[in-house]
Amino acid sequence: DWIKRRDNAFTLLNGDLMNCAGKDTAPELFEDLITPDTAYAQLRAMLMPIKDKILMITRGGHEEAIFRKVGADYMARLAYDLGDIPYKPNGGMVGMRLGAPSKVKKHYIFFVYATHGWGGARTIGAKVKKVQDLAMVADADCYVLSHDHTQNVHRLNILMPPITNITMKRPVYLGIQRRLMVNTGGFIKYSGYIQRKGYMPQDLGTPRIRMEIKADHANYHKDLHCSL
């Protein structure tokens, strides 16, 4: 509903949208009491009102379990049913094009790299380290990692060379580019295999990323923030 009510709100679907419980999976089959087809129908109905606001879909570990067993890719089906949304099962990059104020005929593109995630990190530091490693994989403004059931946001600031012509007649100032590292959360209450394995209870929900074009003296720049 929050996304649907706002014209400038969009989302990435970064996997684990279905539980996909089986007899030999971590999610409990006999507690789920729902077939994958029924779960998929419910998921599709829930997302249909915001189908035009979904930028990309990836495949999570839960959906991967079914895909590996029987070759059924529910996330590929979801991307098709919602209107051929870009589907990147192993992760991918999307760009958001924002225009500067009307006086300046210039556009800026924010690039976001997202993949579902991997491994079984338990400490905050280990979870943050994984999303930070993505900065060595792709050149983007924002990196999004899920899987670890923990919301977290931190920055990676790097020095950038000047974008204007370099001359020896005046000082050369390096700029600082902010890169945002985002660990997403979840929407399942503390129970089941998460509790049984001793994972930390999670905050329900997911971070919100804000992208804007702002003025700095006579120049415009990309402004990137995230809130939990």
> 66-83: per-residue pLDDT in tens?
999 899 999 999 999 999
- pLDDT of residue 116 exceeding 90, the answer is yes
Q: Which of 119, 108, 127 is nearest to 181 (CA)?
A: 127
- CA distance readout (Å), 73 to 180, 197, 221: 30, 27, 40
pLDDT tens for each residue of 39-59: 999 999 999 999 999 999 999
CA angle 112, 75, 63 (to 5 degrees): 105
Instruction: State residue 164's pLDDT score.
Output: 64
Instruction: State residue 177's pLDDT score.
Output: 84
114-118, 159-163, 170-174, 217-221, range with greatest mean pLDDT: 114-118
Give me the helices (H) in 164-209, please.
192-196
Q: Which residue has the higher pLDDT, 25 or 9?
A: 9
- Which amino acid, residue 98? L
Q: What percent of the chain has pLDDT over 90?
A: 52
* pTM confidence score: 0.88
HSE toward the beta carbon, residue 131, CA cutoff 13 A: 30
Only one residue has tokens 């998460």, namely 194
Number of domains in the chain: 1
- Which amino acid, residue 60? G
- pLDDT of residue 101 exceeding 70, the answer is no
Q: Which domain holds residue 50?
A: 2-227
Q: What is the mean pLDDT of residues 122-137?
A: 90
pLDDT band at 218 (very low <50, low <70, confident <90, very high): low
